[in-house]
Structure 1
Amino acid sequence: MSDPGIEAEPRGRPAAAGADAAALPAGHTVFEYRIEKMLGGGGFGITYLARDFNLELPVAIKEYFPGDLTARAADLSVQVRTPEAEQQFHWGLERFLDEARALASFRHPNIARVLRYFRENGTAYIVMEYESGDPLKRWLAREPALDQAGLLKVVYPLLDGLEAVHKLDFLHRDIKPDNIYIRADGSPVLLDFGAARRYTGGRDLTNIVSPGFAPFEQYHSKGHQGPWTDIYALGAVMYWMCTGQKPAESASRVQEDSMPRAIDLADTDLFSADLLRAIDWALRPGETRRPQDIAAFRLALENAALPPGRDAPTRTTPLARQQTDQNLAQPAGGADGLRKNVLCTVMSLHLVGYSKHSTAHQATVKEHFNELLTKAIKGVDPALRLVIATGDGAATCFLGDPEEALQSALLLRGLLLQKYGQMLSLRIGMHLGPVRKVVDINRQVNVIGDGINVAQRIADFAQPNQIVVSRAFHDVITSISDNAVGLFSAMGPHLDKHLRSHDIHAVLDPQSRPAPVVPTRSTEFDNTASFAALATLTPERVAEVEAELTKSIGPLAKVLIKKALTRSVSAQGLRELLAVSIPDPTARELFIRPKNHKTQPLGNSGLLADVSQAFQSFTRPHSNVSQPVSSRTGPSSLVTSPYFSAEQLTQLERALSQCIGPLARMILKKEVLRHSALPTLLLALAAEIDRPADREKFLTATRKL
């Protein structure tokens, strides 16, 4: 258990007797906090584990209680022992509140976070997030053989946290093993900002000294303190972790530095010479001879070579380290897959209300989340997916079958509702678009591009535990899936915070969505036609289409081709079916009508000649197919087209609705915008019919058109 903000008392060592006797009893309330037990005590304060009985969350409360100056009264208030101690008590109280104000200004996952501070009971209290884990000393004692990778996993997040503190012109000024805590999830947190002060403005800083870990400039108020001061202290902690020895006091090293160097003491099989030299650099007695800022020290550590036979230490941001499950982060495609633009399905997952939880609760939520996500994508080939941790969830990129991505999302939602109900909620957004895999500044595989950006914005439109998809993903799934009928519900256009419009669809729950309409059998048509008999596609034509599609969308082309072949009988029909997967309008148009083919306006010639000839035995061509609609007559229809008469469209809608139900009008409306020849339109509509018998029935019913 942690004591965020005071020197941590190692487990097994009793707290000071005076603090124990003077501590507030369990069950006592201070404001809306109920004391549960004392965590530890020092010369100037007592820290308690308490519970916020409004939010039902555990918190750590630090009470200002200098034992030499104060006593606990009968009403449990804090009283100064003597009038002479009054001034000293109030001076210390203001310093205590200064610590609270300093901590409250920091927002970093590796800095102890202040929730509030207040005056009560004649003293003051700081309320902090409660951390679970161990002091660095206890954690290190359990490490069988700390090596360079293990050391840097602790140091890198602390550097990031210190950098955030320094950017606000503050110094910690008391970094030592007692003030570093290792959480249950393995991430470190820096405690005790009681000595923190601003270092700008030319003011003298009080001399705060932790022997062995404080640089010489902290031994006197006129010392030139700056970021290099905290770097010395952190270097001293690293020296202690590497060598097992506490550094000599800096005051004894000013005239003659006889302290053994880290490079001379540490095991070079575990730590590289470059790393140990960087530690020795940070520990130089003269402040101008050390790294002057965190960036310089971090660069020296990152450039340190590895000991022979050792794996490279993982350099990630603290937040990503807390959130990335090792079973999830699989760099799809390895190094060869980097710096390539590919089209993939991105599933963006946002944990609802994640930022409102305490750090301890966030770790629990993320553990449950990672467990569910691991199960949901377990069946996906690791080479075809990449999981990137985000601030409040994760983004998963699927480079394979889009249907596989949708099934993963449905499985995740099902597992979530089944196991956690409303206790854990997700917003799920899906988009099919271009992304680029890169190695970021933290040496981690990352993903950038419009594909992941749009998916994250789509997720913002979702309700808790709802899956929302973009139009691009919807159009591809409805083109290639056998089970897409009735799966989506249109939500219309939505504007994101950048005023970009997104036409989105909600994915219905498979258990609650209505069953597809089963048409009653009609005996009106006796003749049938085999859909397969119309096919004129050859392997050469398929390979040609696949090669062109691969240039636009990458390896996903093979999957889409395989799906579309069951719905296409001609090369042109295949192109038109697959064109929706190409995000770039120019490339899409070129794919539909390639320049290397002699194409005419899509009538019964050119690329469609093979289809039209095969279709002659089943249909009677209309004499006015290419005439504009204004020259035709017939009943009006809600679906219009410049290439087909209202009567033709009405009959097509009627015939299609007998096979697939009320979705017929929507599908017809979509397809007439993509076709100008009746044969290809009929084949595209037939491809929307799942059952072969119904498909043949539709083709027979439309013969007279």
Structure 2
Amino acid sequence: MSVAGQPPDAKPPAAGVDAAALPAGHKVFEYRIEKMLGGGGFGITYLARDINLELPVAIKEYFPGELTTRAADLSVQVRVPESEQQFLWGLERFLDEARALASFRHPNIARVLRYFRENGTAYIVMEYESGDPLKRWLAKQPALDQAGLLKVIYPLMDGLEAVHKLDFLHRDIKPDNIYIRADGSPVLLDFGAARRYTGGRDLTNIVSPGFAPFEQYHSKGNQGPWTDIYSLGAVMYWMTTGQKPLESAARVQDDSMPRAIDIGDTAVFGEALLRAIDWALSSNEARRPQNVAEFRAALVEAPTVQAAPAAASRMPTEPGAGPDSDVLAFAASARSFPGNSAQNIRKNVLGTVMFLDLVAYSKHSIDQQVVLKERFNELIIKALKGVPEASRIVIDTGDGAATCFLGDPEEALQSALLLRGLLLQKYGQMLSVRIGLHLGPIRMVFDVNQRVNVVGDGINVAQRIMDFAQPNQIVVSRAYYDVVSCLTDNAAGMFSAMGPHLDKHLRSHEIYAVLDPKSRPAAPIPARNSEFENTASFATLATLTPETTAEIEAELARSIGPLAKVLVQKALPRSVSVQGLRQLLAVSIPDPIARELFVKPKSNKTQPMPNSGVRSDWGALNPFSRPRSDHSQPVNSRSGPSSTISSPHFDHEQLVRLEKALSQFIGPLARMIVKREVARHTSMEALIKALAAEVDRPDDRSKFLAAAHKP
């Protein structure tokens, strides 16, 4: 659910803007303010309700923070008399543009309903649009082909053409500003950056990196309909290739961005369509389509592609097909993982996530950000050079990067240390980064172009761990520390305990700082103990055989995925017995029930373990349900859990309902989180509150609470 004019993932407003916002319940003309949605240098956006019609609306208030302040009666007043003329000039421009925007009448453009003066300023009332952001909508689609792409793009082009006919530019077309309604129709939101492009006046340099052409980077740029066409082409590039376009400022002199025709799937989208996207993304505005009609004609003339039903959901399996297929092959090599790649990619597995954040990145100018990101990317490539591409997935996070390591967890620490060393050596304090490491559950998913991406609690926690780091500091979670300390002899000398820290969701994390290698004390040489000089040899005491080792590895893989093979290989030299190996490996299993069953199996022979990331029924994984006698018999997810919960505190049906409600917002990790919180709480209200803290977006959190409290 979102509001017209407000990006779905808008950053929270600055503290100064927040303090100046109108309070909830305040009435402005015929509207009652419900909450603030966001704010910027020139205005504040609210969610409000039409008192007469009882309908939700979005209201934008003209409030240039540098010129104005909020008076005791909540009216807007100029700070100093000298700014009066500047304020009034901006107010008139605000109203002029509101009049023009109100004239837009198109089903795929968010409508302005009215505008009015009040409280010493002016307001624009816009339609409330509900649906899914383009990013979320695409993630729900099983595949995207040429027909599906054009079903979204053609209506947006029609709406954009209507805007251009009124001599306006949108100037901020990007995935965040495109919504898909419940009926499947797209709508273009957020005309906050829209401006007339006639009259010879300069246009402000408002940009969204990756989706804005170079002429938008400076006020003297030659902006016109071709400007919006570049941005629309950038959205299509992202949809067809799975990659965010390179910032246009970095393409002017040396264009290193791969063309859509080179990396897009021609069998799915067709060569002509991909070439049209490359045409729209020309750095030189004179070489792009000059209006929507030209661009539409190129798409209409593109031959229709009839993609094979399975083509869009199939990963390449030929040798050398690329790192994505290597990653799937790596995952499939773990015991208990089915060979089918589509099944593999939907598994929850254990991975090590390194989350990186450039310090003060957003405070730099756009040009400086481009330079910083180029230098940062160069160092990441060097730091990861020694890690096989088959066992890592790198994700651009905008102001940093996240890397998921599916192999040796120590590779993440070595890469982090190498990156920090390269930064300090080459840039000193000029370029600083915060680094967080966490080992936790992640899910590999396909994006719209069948490329591998990573989601899940593992990457979310890694980001929160990173938030606790200081510039050029590496911080790790307790989960990562526990595993690495079991695999490394000198782990105690590598880390310094920092104690528990609370994140913004009041979730506690026990963290450890990685010490500078140069400042670590030398490990003491252990004294010889003559008492054990004549004991039996290691080989004589060892009870592990290749068969038992393989069984333990297969059992561990059912709980944590392909990382099991690496951990078993690293733990074997430190173990002489089956039970010792189990205890050493158990620390890597995040689920406490699965961990206990792994350490103490029901019989001497290895038994199949519950899969915390695959099963769709609650009963198979609930800590209060009885173990099933036959693990090979499948559970029908439609018929519900296979056993009755005997929890002393919670009713089984209540837990099923909570798990189902939470899964709508955080996916399959809901099951693991509900089980964890059940063990920590004895009252239903406390349990619901703890689960709500796992939902990041306030609107989604409210929906979860409403669903959780339903009788």
Rg larger in 1 or in 2? 1
TM-score by length of 1: 0.45
TM-score by length of 2: 0.44
